[in-house]
Amino acid sequence: MNASGALRRTALCDAHLALGARMVPFGGFEMPVQYTGILREHDAVRKRAGLFDLSHMGQFALRGADVGAWAETLTVNKVANMKPGQARYNIFTNEHGGAHDDVIFYRLDDERWLLVVNASNADKMWDVVTSARAGDVEAVNLHGERALIAIQGPRSVEMLQPFVDAELGAMKYYACAEARVHGVREPVVLARTGYTGEDGFEIFLPSADATAVWDAVLAGNRAGGLEPCGLGARDVLRLEAGMPLYGHEMTEEITPLQAGLTWAIKFDKPAFTGRDALLAQRESNTFARIAGVIMDGRVPARAGYAVYAGGERVGEVRSGSFGPAVNANVATALVEPRAAAEGTSLEIEVRGARHAARVVPLPFYKRAKA
Amino acid sequence: MANGVPAELLYSKEHEWVKLDGDVATVGVTDYAQSSLGDIVYVELPRVGAQLAQFVSIGVVESVKAVSDIYTPVGGEVVGINNGLDGDPSAVNRDPYGDGWFYKVKLSDVGQTTELLSPEQYAALIVEA
């Protein structure tokens, strides 16, 4: 939010209103939470494809010979060994091993990178990036100035292909490229990334071109079942796919280790912020951790609800929703290790009454491999 | 119907409707409410026999992502609930004034309905909203 407290609008705001979207404040922006309804939008993404405006996300352009080596000292994953054309998930950590933010690095060429951060953390992350800058590293904050459109779903390749000159089917998951996109004068960054558990692409483009691209892709694929999708559907899709949401499964206090992101933490890096704390946490192995939870009944669990095992309080729900893909109420809970094993019977306290639930492996939903 | 607001019902500011039949009132949420709530996945209703005080929170509606309180627009004893919502909560979205009704109350005092909004008043309320 800016100093006046007024909400910012993305370049696509009028397009959302014309489509009948319900708008809500999110990360300082006025964003579409849904168009026709979360269930219908969710269904489109799982079976066909959905189109998302994610222009509220923070985009930082990084440039310089030292970006990779520098970023490695602030994050848990490797950066310097990324090749041009690669995207990689990563987490900026604090001294205690907690997370400043989870992000994606896109390496465009030897010198140029794109760093995408969460909207709610964009101001904080700009401080983190600029205050720690060292060596040959330039950073430009594009937050709110560039647009981001995502298409997500099993039919993304065929639906987007007519509008771009890159051969989409040949791009690997987590590949990025600079490509020509319908009606946009300059090449834009195109990546096979997303936050739904489906195949899909994200297009980082100038705000001035966003509406033309959005309208063209939507109009060209309406008959094929492409639906505009809001942040409501996006949150349900990511939860089903077992993907963490900053502020829920990960915070300045909840470490990536607790969030189950061990695969992203490279302890073989000699030094990075929070490495010692994370190493000590791993050694002790007594930390509360994120577990997947399915409710036995029809009552949804919600963030903040207390979790019990064997009559004792063992943690709390961090995210909870109805999960249409599994036709059950799904949740993540931060629980003591003794309550985290698959199959553990839990009780979730909902409005004073305890409801049966059980621990299941994450993700709740995994797409069939093409 | 004026602006989609049925003329034969009374309303609350919290977007519930009331249908009077003698001293028994049937209660549900309005079309405006179901549309704002989004896809409804669970409705928690009071038990038959429960005594409700007017305008107090007596249950919840859960949509995919959020929980919302139900504030009873009338007080009295619950004499019936819509068990059909257990298996099909989406009836509230589909037919808020029909199959999606919530519960029936035997009014403790028929005079309390003067606290409710007329269809015209409610239509004006949702235009402002």
Residue A29 sits in the same domain as residue A41:
yes
Contact A38 B67 (CB under 8 A): no
Cis check for the bond before A363: say yes or no (omega within 30 of 0).
yes
pLDDT single digits (tens) A201-242: 999 999 999 999 999 999 999 999 999 999 999 999 999 999
Query: Is A77 among the domain residues?
Result: yes
CATH of the domain at A277: 3.30.70.1400
Interface test with A, best of B60, B64, B83, B85 (most A CBs within 10 A): B64
Query: Is A67 among the domain residues?
Result: yes
- Of the candidates A232, A298, A299, the beta carbon closest to that of B64 is on A232
Q: Which residue has the higher pLDDT, A273 or A2?
A: A273
Please give the share of chain A, as a percent, with pLDDT higher than 70.
98
B79 in reach of chain A (CB within 8 A): no
Distance CA B45, CA A330 (A): 22
Report residue B3's pLDDT band, with 50, 70 and 90 as the boundaries: low
Judging contacts by C-beta atoms under 8 Å, the chain B residues touching residue A299 are 42, 44, 62
Query: Is B61 among the domain residues?
Result: yes
Residue A156 sits in the same domain as residue A217:
yes
Nearest Cα neighbor of A56 from A139, A151, A141, A122 is A122
Query: Is B49 among the domain residues?
Result: yes
Judging contacts by C-beta atoms under 8 Å, the chain A residues touching residue B42 are 298-300, 322
Residue A299 sits in the same domain as residue A178:
no
A229 in reach of chain B (CB within 8 A): no
Nearest Cα neighbor of A69 from A134, A128, A120 is A134
Q: Roughly how many angstroms between the first and final C-alpha of chain B, as a whole number?
A: 19
Instruction: Give me the pLDDT at residue B2, please.
Output: 53
pLDDT single digits (tens) A132-190: 888 999 999 999 899 999 999 999 999 999 999 999 999 999 999 999 999 899 999 99
Residue A160 sits in the same domain as residue A48:
yes
Residue numbers of A between 231 and 290 with CB closer than 8 Å to B? 232, 235-236
> Domain span at residue B89?
10-109
Interface test with A, best of B41, B57, B85 (most A CBs within 10 A): B41
Query: Is A248 among the domain residues?
Result: no
Residue A276 sits in the same domain as residue A310:
no
Q: What is the mean pLDDT of residues B29-51?
A: 96
**Which chain B residue is nearest to residue A22, measuring alpha carbons?**
B36
Judging contacts by C-beta atoms under 8 Å, the chain A residues touching residue B62 are 299-300, 322
Query: Is A295 among the domain residues?
Result: yes
Q: What is the mean pLDDT of residues B76-89?
A: 96
A356 has pLDDT over 90:
yes
CATH of the domain at B83: 2.40.50.100
Residue A135 sits in the same domain as residue A62:
yes
Query: Is A247 among the domain residues?
Result: no
B47 in reach of chain A (CB within 8 A): no
pLDDT single digits (tens) A288-337: 999 999 999 999 999 999 999 999 999 999 999 999 999 999 999 999 99
Q: Which residues of A282-304 are buried (b: 16+ CB within 10 A; e: fewer)?
A: eeeeebbbbbbbbbeebbbbbbe
Q: What is the 3-state secondary structure (H, E, C) of chain A?
A: CCCCCCCEECCCHHHHHHCCCEEEEECCEEEEEECCCHHHHHHHHHHCEEEEECCCCEEEEEECCCHHHHHHCCECCCCCCCCCCEEEEEEEECCCCCEEEEEEEEECCCCEEEEEECHHHHHHHHHHHHHCCCCCCEEEECCCCEEEEEEECCCHHHHHHHHECCCHHHCCCCEEEEECECCCCCCEEEECCCCCCCCEEEEEEEHHHHHHHHHHHHHHHCCCCEEECCHHHHHHHHHHCCCCCECCCECCCCCCCCCCCHHHCCCCCCCCCCHHHHHHHHHHCCCCEEEEEEECCCCCCCCCCEEEECCEEEEEEEEEEEECCCCEEEEEEEECHHHCCCCCEEEEEECCEEEEEEEECCCCCCCCCC
Instruction: Give me the pLDDT at residue A129, please.
Output: 96
Predicted structure pTM score: 0.94
- Of the candidates B39, B62, B67, the beta carbon closest to that of A37 is on B39
> A260 to chain B nearest CA, in Å?
23
Helix (H, G, I), strand (E, B) or coil at B97: coil
Query: Is B23 among the domain residues?
Result: yes
CATH of the domain at A30: 3.30.1360.120
Distance CA A199, CA A176 (A): 14
Residue A80 sits in the same domain as residue A107:
yes
> Domain span at residue A334?
288-370
B69 in reach of chain A (CB within 8 A): no
Instruction: Give me the pLDDT at residue A343, please.
Output: 98
Q: Sort strands A49-53 and A226-228 into parallel, antiparallel or unpaired.
A: parallel
Interface test with B, best of A22, A23, A38, A234 (most B CBs within 10 A): A38
Give me the number of domains chain B comprises.
1
Residue A233 sits in the same domain as residue A149:
yes
Kindly tell me the sign of the dihedral angle through the C-alpha atoms of A340, A343, A345, A350.
Answer: positive
The angle, 0 to 180 degrees and rounded to 10, between the axes of the packed helices A231-240 and A38-47 is 60
> B124 to chain A nearest CA, in Å?
20
Contact A300 B62 (CB under 8 A): yes
A369 has pLDDT over 90:
no
Residue A136 sits in the same domain as residue A156:
no
A91 in reach of chain B (CB within 8 A): no
Give me the number of domains chain A comprises.
3
Residue A39 sits in the same domain as residue A88:
no
Residue A266 sits in the same domain as residue A293:
no
Query: Is B31 among the domain residues?
Result: yes
Instruction: Give me the pLDDT at residue B53, please.
Output: 97
> A347 to chain B nearest CA, in Å?
18
B42 in reach of chain A (CB within 8 A): yes
Query: Is B77 among the domain residues?
Result: yes
> B46 to chain A nearest CA, in Å?
13
Contact B65 A39 (CB under 8 A): no
Nearest Cα neighbor of A316 from A277, A357, A281 is A357
Residue numbers of A between 338 and 367 with CB closer than 8 Å to B? 351
Query: Is A1 among the domain residues?
Result: no
CATH of the domain at A332: 2.40.30.110
Q: What is the mean pLDDT of residues A96-122?
A: 98
Query: Is B115 among the domain residues?
Result: no
Query: Is B70 among the domain residues?
Result: yes
Dihedral angle computed from the Cα positions of residues A253, A259, A263 and A269, in that order, rounded to the nearest 10 degrees: 10
